[in-house]
Structure 1
Amino acid sequence: MFEVKKYAASREKNYELVGKQLTALIEDEPNRVANLANASALLNQFLDRINWVGFYLYDETENQLVLGPFQGLPACVR
């Protein structure tokens, strides 16, 4: 279904491509968690020198950041 490919163009072209890929992944999906999950997966594949990429979401009831969608090594929950 999906084929993992190395980004082989210039840095500028690679960032342009990943921006277009991210737009295509999220533009028709209204669910924030689904979009953040796909964004973290794409960025994890794109950024080859990292071991974690993800998001912390603000929880108003607890007045703190809570771990959201991510790819990589385990992370602090709060």
Structure 2
Amino acid sequence: MLVTATEFKTNIGKYLTLVNEEEIVITKNGKGVAKLSPLKEDKVKMVESLFGIIPDEMTLEQAREERLKKHEHID
């Protein structure tokens, strides 16, 4: 659903209720500036978005280790 910033500001309660049913894109001057989505994430949808990111030959443990290595700080 698209809604202008003015409309969102005027009727915030209405949109906080509607967000449980669909994402709300807030626009300003005809351009999207923010997206309001429900806090509860659809875990299946989230996992599906990761398909293709981890190579088939890599195990989940290897992917986890690689991710952790990127965040290690070497002093």
Measured against the shorter chain, the TM-score band is: under 0.3
Larger Rg: 2
Q: TM-score, normalised by structure 2?
A: 0.27
